[in-house]
Amino acid sequence: MPSDKKVQGSLNFHKKMAFKICVVAQMDQLSIENIRKDFPILSRKVRNNVPLIYLDNAATTQKPKQVVDAIADYYLRYNANVHRGIHALSEEASEKYEEAHLKVAKFLNAKFQEVIFTKNTTEGLNIVAHGMYDRLERDDEIVVTRMEHHSNIVPFQVLARKTGAKLKFIELDKFETLNLESAEKVITDRTKLVSIPHMSNVLGTINPVKDIVDIAKAHGSLVLLDGAQSVPHLPVDFADLGVDFLAFSGHKMLAPMGIGGLIGKEEVLEDFEPLLYGGEMIKYVDYERATWNDLPWKFEAGTPNVGGGIGLGVAIDYLSNIGMERVHKMERELTKYTMERFSELDFVQIYGPPSEYRGGVVSFNVFNDDGELIHPHDVSTILDEHGIAIRAGHHCAQPLMRAMSIPATNRVSFYIYNNYEEVDKTVEVLKEVKALFS
């Protein structure tokens, strides 16, 4: 048994920690409550007439009124195609659409001509995969990791099969972080492309991008970064990271669905073939041949998602006003608190690294009294009955799930409008889940 002095010391420590958490929560609460006012959906009630608690932000985020209003304004006041007409509406639409490109460029520290608008991260990754066809020979290598989303493995499986290249994998340490020794072994002089996630959508791991870039560049390889989970949540500097490509989605960062981006180094994009051909991406066409437009329009064939692009620009304004360092800090504190609360539950298993190595994602499973897994779909269903929206399943990462010997996980993921009370409510319902299945 511990001594009275040790017990008292432990109590004092926990009191200090509780006070610290309370102070931080109060400081954040003021800004979070102001932010929540911009998201009408967060005030609605669902299912059994209970308040919505939205913890599925890694799948998609909610949209503030400012973004919705900007999109509506485009369609109601100056709806027109861009780069085609010389009338007032087309000129205004073109100006706003190009302004959105400039906002992305500034937000990620890239050049205007390096910013390609896409539908989503998946399209950006496929543009790079398509552009690599002419650069690969039989027995060349494409390197990805064991923690990939399907969007960062399937295009390269197809690319390897069609070119005769080999698909290789950087291993993980304890299914938490990338093993850099493995990276040094796997990446060789035959490696032509290394594609990694900046942050895992399952484990929450924030990967050491610069370390991987150093290894890849020593072998002359291009580097593609899947920024779907990082660009919305962390300060991301394209030029500083040293990667050749960065793909991201707008809908995961307050913008509408159907808009995203691929950032690519100008000299590399100039040498890449477009994925799509047709209008807008051409400079000269006759009956026998065509030449391609200047960057970034070379990769934006056809009528673009103008309203979505404008919405993305406003979403970036919104996040920039908060500050990405602040966004990351808020999520890091909430993630740490969540992992501490979940760790109080001896029937909950958390996957991934400690909170200091991850972003705002916590994947976990719940077990009954007999130590049997309660299927994540059942857990999610009961949480949903209490208004709590989470993700349950393989999270588009089936290979990782099989490697971990689990069928699926539950996942809570945070954004700028989530708070400590929502975590506390989730913990209470998880206790009910365990009791029900035991």
Active site residues: 396
User: How much of the chain exceeds pLDDT 70, in percent?
Assistant: 93
Among residues 354, 371, 362, which one has the least CA distance to residue 409?
362
CA distances 10 to 16, 17, 75, 296, 409, Å, are: 10, 11, 60, 59, 33
pLDDT for residue 438: 84
Give the mean pLDDT of 409-433. 98
* pTM (whole model) above 0.95: no
Give the mean pLDDT of 117-130. 98
Helical (H) or strand (E) element with 216: helix 209-218
- Render the burial of 186-201: b for 16+ CB within 10 Å, e for the rest: bbeeebbbbbbbbbbb
Cα 390 versus chain centre, distance = 16
pLDDT for residue 23: 42
Q: Give 388-405 pLDDT, tens digit per residue.
A: 999 999 999 999 999 999
pLDDT over 60 at 130, yes or no? yes
Q: Give 222-240 pLDDT, tens digit per residue.
A: 999 999 999 999 999 999 9
Q: Give 131-172 pLDDT, tens digit per residue.
A: 999 999 999 999 999 999 999 999 999 999 999 999 999 999
Give me the torsion for CA of 48, 51, 56, 62, rounded to 10°: 120
- Render the burial of 375-389: b for 16+ CB within 10 Å, e for the rest: bbebbbebbbebbbb
Contact 296, 101 (CB under 8 A): yes
Location of structure tokens 């969007």: 151
Give the mean pLDDT of 4-9. 41
Query: Would the CATH topology of 4-63+323-437 be identical to that of 66-322?
Result: no
Location of structure tokens 């017990």: 7
SS (H, E, C) 24-51: HHHHHHHHHHHHHCCCHHHHCEECCCEE
Architecture of the domain made up of 4-63+323-437: Alpha-Beta Complex (3.90)
Among residues 30, 54, 34, which one has the least CA distance to residue 42?
54
Contact 298, 324 (CB under 8 A): no
Q: Give 310-353 pLDDT, tens digit per residue.
A: 999 999 999 999 999 999 999 999 999 999 999 999 999 999 99
CA distance 252 to 59: 7
Q: Which residues, including other chains, have CB under 8 Å from residue 301's CB and lie 6 or more apart?
A: 274, 276, 277, 278, 279, 280, 281
Q: Give 78-92 pLDDT, tens digit per residue.
A: 999 999 889 999 999
Q: Which residues, including other chains, have CB under 8 Å from residue 17's CB and lie 6 or more apart?
A: none
Contact 194, 187 (CB under 8 A): yes
pLDDT for residue 11: 40
Listing DSSP states for 270-336 in one string gives: HHSPPS--SSSSEEEE-SS-EEEPSTTGGG--SS--HHHHHHHHHHHHHHHHH-HHHHHHHHHHHHH
- Averaged confidence pLDDT in the chain: 93
pLDDT over 50 at 52, yes or no? yes
Location of structure tokens 């929450």: 204
Residue 277: HSE in the Cβ half-sphere, 13 Å Cα cutoff: 8
Structure tokens at 215: 């290894």
Per-residue DSSP letter, 293: P
Q: Give 294-315 pLDDT, tens digit per residue.
A: 999 999 999 999 999 999 999 9
Helical (H) or strand (E) element with 397: none
pLDDT over 50 at 292, yes or no? yes
Give 402: exposed, middle or buried? Use CB within 10 Å, 0-12, 13-18, 19+.
Answer: exposed
Q: What are phi and psi of 262, to 5 degrees?
A: -125, 120
Neighbours of 18 (CB within 10 A): 10
Domain 66-322 has CATH 3.40.640.10: yes
pLDDT for residue 28: 56
pLDDT over 90 at 6, yes or no? no
Single-letter residue type at 396: C
User: How much of the chain exceeds pLDDT 90, in percent?
Assistant: 91
Give the mean pLDDT of 208-212. 98
Contact 174, 403 (CB under 8 A): no
pLDDT for residue 214: 98
Q: Work out the pLDDT band at 379, boundaries 50, 70, 90.
A: very high
Among residues 111, 113, 101, which one has the least CA distance to residue 313?
101
pLDDT over 50 at 13, yes or no? no
Q: Work out the pLDDT band at 12, boundaries 50, 70, 90.
A: very low
pLDDT for residue 369: 94
pLDDT for residue 29: 58
The DSSP bridge partners found for residue 145 are 170
- Of the two residues 31 and 335, the one the predictor is more confident about is 335
All structural domains of the chain with their residue ranges: 4-63+323-437, 66-322
Q: Work out the pLDDT band at 31, boundaries 50, 70, 90.
A: confident
pLDDT for residue 92: 97
pLDDT over 50 at 2, yes or no? no
pLDDT over 70 at 5, yes or no? no
